[in-house]
Amino acid sequence: MIEQSKPFTGITVVIADDSQTIRQTVATLLGAMGCHVVCADNGFDVLAKIVDELPQLIFLDINMPRLDGYQACALVKQNDTYRDIPVVLLSAKNGVFDRARARVVKADDYLVKPFSRDELMDIVRRHVAMSQHNADEA
């Protein structure tokens, strides 16, 4: 039985953001809820971490050096092994164009920074529940 205080125990989450503050905040919040959190500071690094960790959820900042979140998301979603892992794009931008571009690369969700603890938890809850439901059906 999962402890009520740590509802996400056993869930691996990968977060890629070039902001150390965002990475630490997400890692702290999700870690307190029981997640195993793996951090990356750029798009290339996150791809290696996804291969190594096979996470249940991926957070990608849109504006990262070398390989941005849109490009990293597109690569994940084009790969048969990883395409079913939910990808949430993180951005300070909340424009129609940005959200449309997220849909084009098949992002599963879009979270605008700064976000609250509750918004973060809702995203994890929604996508982890969906992926567990889909795994049960398989």
pLDDT of residue 24: 96
Q: Is the pLDDT of residue 130 over 50?
A: yes
pLDDT of residue 5: 73
Q: In whole numbers, what is the pLDDT of the chain averaged over residues?
A: 90
Asked if residue 22 belongs to a domain, the reply is yes
pLDDT of residue 1: 42
What predicted TM-score, i.e. pTM, was given to this entire model?
0.90
Please tell me the distance from the alpha carbon of residue 24 to that of residue 98, in angstroms, as a whole number: 25
Counting the structural domains of the chain, the total is: 1
Asked if residue 122 belongs to a domain, the reply is yes
Asked if residue 96 belongs to a domain, the reply is yes
pLDDT tens readout for residues 13-41:
999 999 999 999 999 999 999 999 999 99
Please tell me the distance from the alpha carbon of residue 63 to that of residue 61, in angstroms, as a whole number: 6
Q: CA Rg, the chain, in Å?
A: 14
97, two tokens = 């164009």
Domain that includes residue 39, residue range:
12-137
Nearest to 53 by CA among 108, 7, 102, 15: 15
Please tell me the distance from the alpha carbon of residue 84 to that of residue 102, in angstroms, as a whole number: 16
Asked if residue 129 belongs to a domain, the reply is yes
The CATH number of residue 29's host domain is 3.40.50.2300
Asked if residue 7 belongs to a domain, the reply is no
